[in-house]
Amino acid sequence: MAKAIIARRKGDEYQARVFWIHAVKLRTDDHVEFVEFESDQVSFMDDVLVGYRLAIKERETGRRVELDCFQCKYHMTSSAAFNCENLINPDFINSANRSMLGRMYEAYRTLSARGRPFRINVISNYFWDTGDFMALHLHEGLIRDTFYEGGPRTTAGRVRQRLAEHLRVDEQQLKSFLTTVRFVLGKNLGSLADELVPLLRLAGLRAIDPCATNIEYDDLAWKLFEQGRNRFDRPSFDAMVRDERLLEVPKKNHSEISIRSCLQFARRPDDTQAMLLDLTALFDGRFPRSASAWAGDIPRLLKEFLLEGKICSLPQPICLFFDCHLSIAFAAGYLLDPKFGLQIVPVQKNPRTGYEIWPRPAGQRNDVWECKSIGKVGREAIVAVSVTHPVEQHLATFLGGTPLARLPRLCLAPRGGIGPQAVRDGDHAWHLGYGLQVMLRNALPATCNTVHVFLAGPAALAYIIGNTMRGVAPCIQLYEHDFEGGGKGARYCPSLALPLNC
């Protein structure tokens, strides 16, 4: 009896943590519209529902998703695993006559009738049985297309037939159903708590006490449910966290400010900011709504925000968060001359910790770049800086259609290689900034009036490079990259010209 009570309690905690992982994103993710706990909208897949105001794109498949449904399956032991037989065995979910696969298919039919693109997510501390045939066709929780290859006499064909017969559907209907299913496995209570920690920090909510036995968020989810408060949008969630006193008490020994120009999957909430420059109304996604935005409105608003008197009255240091285009982060660094006496500290998002503060180090290193030069620099030059991604991937195509194709080029990459981990920490970022300044001062002759900068890297690094490149050339022309190719034509377009003459 005691074991059954403990198992039920832990199952409730498991579901609550899945809820909070998604609910806190109402404060930090511009795409999330609502999060619902113990929903009555759809049977079985009802533990947590997440709706998106703008359809998100699944990276692995390119599918658009407007609704995520989560079913949580927590088990006290590792005595079993997911496999094809368990999916169609009612005993696997302690049901009298309905299997997990059957219940999931019922939810699929209900959701399909509503016409909104969705995913069915099963999240569990169990793993998939490595000896099961289906394991060969699972990747990142998705059933790969290889599972649907081969005729009815192949092993895959026989497994497909068994599943289809269980559901009383044909193989095409089976495939349509299974393409919506995701298995998020191997998530135990501890790993869910670890995942929640940086999300709470980013959202400005009270942290989990690592020295306490109880996690208050576990019980609170069920208390709110008892009160009929189980569906939250951004205003109602913000009101709830204020009522429940979950907001982290702001520190008085520093300030936070943000620059925002595009929708974010992770950002600091507005109520944690002493000042906020919101430029999103000037953009449609990544693209400016007006042809004059880069030359007029953006420079004017950026200068007013960073150079007016209000920022000088804030407690220092001032942590600057970037939810914006790289060109805007670069220009912010360029504008904030250290001579102004403001102690501005760039903050970089980190998927593991939430964010990292990158203060200026005491010393500097200059031997941090690899440089390849093409042509002799005269009055103009192209500076291609590849940090997280290779700039050259789309640069050559863009230059080929412009007079810039004739210009000499300096191609730079950090020593140690290009990639998501190319910038190790804040000190390394500042070394890269200073090192780039030294390298360009040595490489550019006094006759060089204009450099065209193409940069792929973290936003905080763009700020640092902008801050250290002041004086390298009389004019710096920046360019924005269309990461997903959603625009028309070339992947690059000119953005801000520095100094900002508006």
| Rounded Cα–Cα distance for residues 311 and 436 (Å) | 29
Do residues 430 and 438 make contact, with C-beta atoms less than 8 angstroms apart?
no
Residue 477 pLDDT greater than 70, yes or no: yes
Whether the predicted pLDDT of 217 surpasses 80: yes
3-state secondary structure 424-463: CCHHHHHHHHHHHHHHHHHHCCCCCCEEEEEEECCHHHHH
Euclidean distance between CA atoms 218 and 197, whole angstroms: 13
Q: How many residues does the chain have?
A: 502
- Which of helix, strand or coil describes residue 269? coil
Report how far residue 217's alpha carbon sits from residue 197's, in angstroms, rounded to the nearest whole number.
11
| Residue 488: band (very low, low, confident or very high) from pLDDT cuts 50, 70, 90 | low
Contacts 24+ apart (CB under 8 A), 204-211: 204/27, 204/247, 204/248, 204/268, 204/269, 204/271, 204/272, 205/24, 205/27, 205/241, 205/246, 205/247, 205/248, 206/245, 206/246, 206/247, 206/248, 207/248
The mean pLDDT value for 295-305 works out to: 95
Pairing of strands 142-143, 138-139: antiparallel
Backbone angles phi, psi at 39, to 5 degrees: -80, 155
Residue whose C-alpha is closest to residue 88's, from 161, 8, 188: 161
pLDDT in tens, 168-181: 999 999 999 999 99
Amino acid at 156: A
Instruction: Provide the pLDDT for residue 490.
Output: 66
* Whole-angstrom distance, CA of residue 449 vs CA of residue 428: 29
Tokens 């050559």 -> residue: 396
The domain locations on the chain are 2-184, 255-498
Condensed to tens digits (0 to 9), the pLDDT of residues 393-438 reads 889 888 887 889 999 999 999 999 999 999 999 999 999 999 999 9
Per-residue pLDDT tens for 100-117?
Answer: 999 999 999 999 999 999
Q: What is the pTM of this model?
A: 0.82
- Helix (H) or strand (E) run with residue 210 in it: none
- Bridge partners for 374 per DSSP: 409
State what percent of residues in the chain have pLDDT above 70: 96
pLDDT in the model for residue 162: 95
Give yes or no for residue 453 having a pLDDT over 60: yes
Paired tokens of 98: 């309905």
Q: What pLDDT does residue 7 have?
A: 82
Residue 83 is classified by DSSP as -
> Minimum mean pLDDT among 61-65, 224-228, 464-468: which range?
61-65
Query: Counting Cβ atoms within 10 Å, is residue 326 exposed (0-12), middle (13-18) or buried (19+)?
Result: buried
**Count of beta carbons in the 10 Å neighbourhood of residue 72:** 22
Confidence category of residue 485, pLDDT binned at 50, 70, 90: low
Q: What is the average per-residue pLDDT within 22-30? A: 96
